[in-house]
Amino acid sequence: MGTSQPDTSTTAQAVFERAPQQLYVGGRWVDAERGATFDVVDPSTGEALCAVADASPADGRAALEAAAAAQASFAATSSRERADTLMRAFDLLHDRIDDLALLMTLEMGKPLAEAHGEIAYAAEFLRHFAGEAVRIDGGYQAAPAGGARFLVAKQPVGPCLLITPWNFPMAMATRKIGPAIAAGCTSVVKPAQQTPLSTLAFVDILREAGLPAGAVNVVTTADATGVMEPLIRSGLARKLSFTGSTKVGRILLEQCADKVLRTSMELGGNAPFIVFEDADLDEAVDGAIAAKMRNMGEACTAANRIYVHQEIIEEFGDRLTEKMSALPVGRGVDDGVRVGPLIDEAARRKVSELVADAVQQGARVLTGGVTPTGQGYFYPPTVLTDVPRSARMADEEIFGPVAPLTPFKDETEVVAAANDTEFGLVSYVYTNDLRRALRVAEAIETGMVGLNQGVVSNPAAPFGGVKQSGLGREGGPTGIEEFLETKYIGIALA
């Protein structure tokens, strides 16, 4: 499809007719208890697109029982078989990319080109973990004191609960389901209420790719707490992998303590984006737009605080404003659109409140900052300058297309400012001074650093945060370890 414009009225209808909207339990598509459903809404119109199954706690229990029942046989499949399934799913994702991108754009709002990009990125997790599956290793070692041998084996953790957010509905699913399958873990996936369709479509692809019944189950629900808490506390699951807000992550960590579940937590961010006076300004402006505007700013990796050296902040602000104000805003399905709607009215209200708060505290609006009237949850690309430390947006994720600029004087001051947050997911640093780049990259308290680049996500690299941005890593060589236990077998030699 590329950037060509589909006839969305007819194509969308065909895509919805094919899109699964039920629960997937034990290898079968089933209705929720008593046929309950909830609506999926198009954020560019505010209108319902379709209704999907609304799982009850009993439906959730059935899904986890199916996962638990399939665990032993799935763990016994060969890693080559699991890798081959992942590669068939990789191919199918690419074969269906146009339909899947349209489905994602309709339920989530991002421009079609970005939806295409996300599906290609999501597919890469399958290819990456297909490679990791066949390289699960172990060890054999002599005890230091002699007389014994250590055999070290890796085994699947067991049935997993996988909870994903709405902002990257396909990639966040494959980033968890891919390594779970590779490791031989069965799972119950709960996608976000606002974007269930992409995950359901992906799981149908796994079915078509030959994944055994029960290996992956999906529950969609409008009652996340009511359905998931009993599963977390059931004793049937051995792990929870969660991507979402830090607020919900804290609640889930407490629940996981009950049965001492393994956890992976990919939580919120508050990324600093630092531009030193020696940086290439054009590259820094383009990097800031990439780091800020991917997904309309609705990304955990979004640049949330942009610190620019005081000597260049005016020039940087002018160039950023020129480019930001030229970005076309509109429905993600329309040709040439770069900025779609926010996910819902609550998200838009929060962005608008954060902007009002910053302005009240002395920030100046260089472009945007006014909520439009009319259909959909649109918010314009916005640049603020002179944003003070006391502004709420210095502490809270904006999750919208707002770039707040703050001047700084020197390296020590900006590193302290960057670290003055409970979050530690990612940071971005623009400088042409190698020694400074390495000093700052080491001093900054984040799990990932983009040096002269505004996007760090890569399936082959370890993604994750420190501090209250999370626990564990997804992707990269460590991603599969999150789904493996290490078993040590001590052998006495006669």
Residues with catalytic function: 266, 300
Q: Of 390, 49, 408, give the one whose Cα is nearest residue 196.
A: 49
If the CB atoms of residues 242 and 378 are measured against ligand NAP, the closer one turns out to be 242
Number of residues that this document lists for the chain = 494
Cα 175 to Cα 81: distance, rounded to the nearest angstrom: 19
Give the distance from CA 367 to its chain's centroid: 28
Q: Which residue sits closest to ligand NAP, CB atoms considered?
A: 244
Supply the minimum distance, in Å, between the C-beta of residue 222 and ligand NAP.
7
Considering only residues 34 to 93 of the shown chain, the ones binding ligand NAP according to CB under 6 A are none
SS3 39: strand
Task: Answer for the pair 365, 320: CB distance below 8 angstroms, yes or no.
Answer: no
Task: Answer for the pair 157, 239: CB distance below 8 angstroms, yes or no.
Answer: yes
If the CB atoms of residues 156 and 244 are measured against ligand NAP, the closer one turns out to be 244
Among 158, 159, 184, 244, binds ligand NAP (CB under 6 A): 244
Supply the minimum distance, in Å, between the C-beta of residue 323 and ligand NAP.
24
If the CB atoms of residues 244 and 407 are measured against ligand NAP, the closer one turns out to be 244
Supply the minimum distance, in Å, between the C-beta of residue 457 and ligand NAP.
9
Q: Does 267 bind ligand NAP (CB under 6 A)?
A: yes
Among 177, 228, 354, 384, binds ligand NAP (CB under 6 A): 228
Q: Does 447 bind ligand NAP (CB under 6 A)?
A: no
Among 71, 85, 105, 167, binds ligand NAP (CB under 6 A): 167
Q: Of 175, 154, 72, 73, give the one whose Cα is nearest residue 484.
A: 154
Q: Does 245 bind ligand NAP (CB under 6 A)?
A: yes
Q: Does 263 bind ligand NAP (CB under 6 A)?
A: no
If the CB atoms of residues 85 and 246 are measured against ligand NAP, the closer one turns out to be 246
Supply the minimum distance, in Å, between the C-beta of residue 469 and ligand NAP.
6
Supply the minimum distance, in Å, between the C-beta of residue 414 and ligand NAP.
23
Q: Does 165 bind ligand NAP (CB under 6 A)?
A: yes
Among 85, 186, 198, 243, binds ligand NAP (CB under 6 A): 243
Q: Does 118 bind ligand NAP (CB under 6 A)?
A: no
Task: Answer for the pair 468, 246: CB distance below 8 angstroms, yes or no.
Answer: yes
Residue 202 neighbours by CB under 8 Å, 6+ apart = 89, 93, 100, 122, 170, 173, 174, 177
If the CB atoms of residues 98 and 397 are measured against ligand NAP, the closer one turns out to be 397
> Dihedral through CA 225, CA 228, CA 230, CA 232, nearest 10?
-120
User: Binding segment for ligand NAP among 41-49, 78-86, 247-255, 367-375 (CB under 6 A)?
Assistant: 247-255
User: Binding segment for ligand NAP among 18-26, 143-151, 157-165, 274-282 (CB under 6 A)?
Assistant: 157-165
Residue 491's CB is within 10 A of a number of other CB atoms, namely: 10
Q: Does 166 bind ligand NAP (CB under 6 A)?
A: yes
Task: Answer for the pair 103, 197: CB distance below 8 angstroms, yes or no.
Answer: yes
Among 58, 152, 251, 416, binds ligand NAP (CB under 6 A): 251
Supply the minimum distance, in Å, between the C-beta of residue 435 and ligand NAP.
30
Cα 211 to Cα 184: distance, rounded to the nearest angstrom: 11
CA distances from 459 to 128, 198, 391 (A): 7, 19, 34
User: Binding segment for ligand NAP among 64-72, 97-105, 130-138, 188-196 (CB under 6 A)?
Assistant: 188-196
Among 157, 163, 296, 351, binds ligand NAP (CB under 6 A): 163
Q: Does 449 bind ligand NAP (CB under 6 A)?
A: no
Among 82, 88, 96, 190, binds ligand NAP (CB under 6 A): 190
Q: Exposed e or buried b for every residue in 241-259, given b needs 16+ CB within 10 A?
A: bbbbebebbeebbebbeee
- β 262-266/470-471 pair status: antiparallel
Q: Does 310 bind ligand NAP (CB under 6 A)?
A: no
Q: Does 292 bind ligand NAP (CB under 6 A)?
A: no
Q: Exposed e or buried b for every residue in 327-365, given b needs 16+ CB within 10 A?
A: bebbbbbbeebbbbbbbbeebbebbbebbeebeebebeb
Q: Does 266 bind ligand NAP (CB under 6 A)?
A: yes
Q: Does 324 bind ligand NAP (CB under 6 A)?
A: no
Tokens 């297909």 correspond to: 130
Residue 65 neighbours by CB under 8 Å, 6+ apart = 236
Tokens 């501090």 correspond to: 467
Look up residue 478 and give its amino acid: T
User: Binding segment for ligand NAP among 61-69, 244-252, 325-333, 370-378 (CB under 6 A)?
Assistant: 244-252
Q: Does 225 bind ligand NAP (CB under 6 A)?
A: yes
Q: Which residues bind ligand NAP (CB under 6 A)?
A: 163-168, 172, 190, 192-194, 224-225, 228, 243-245, 248, 251-252, 266-269, 300, 397, 425, 465, 470
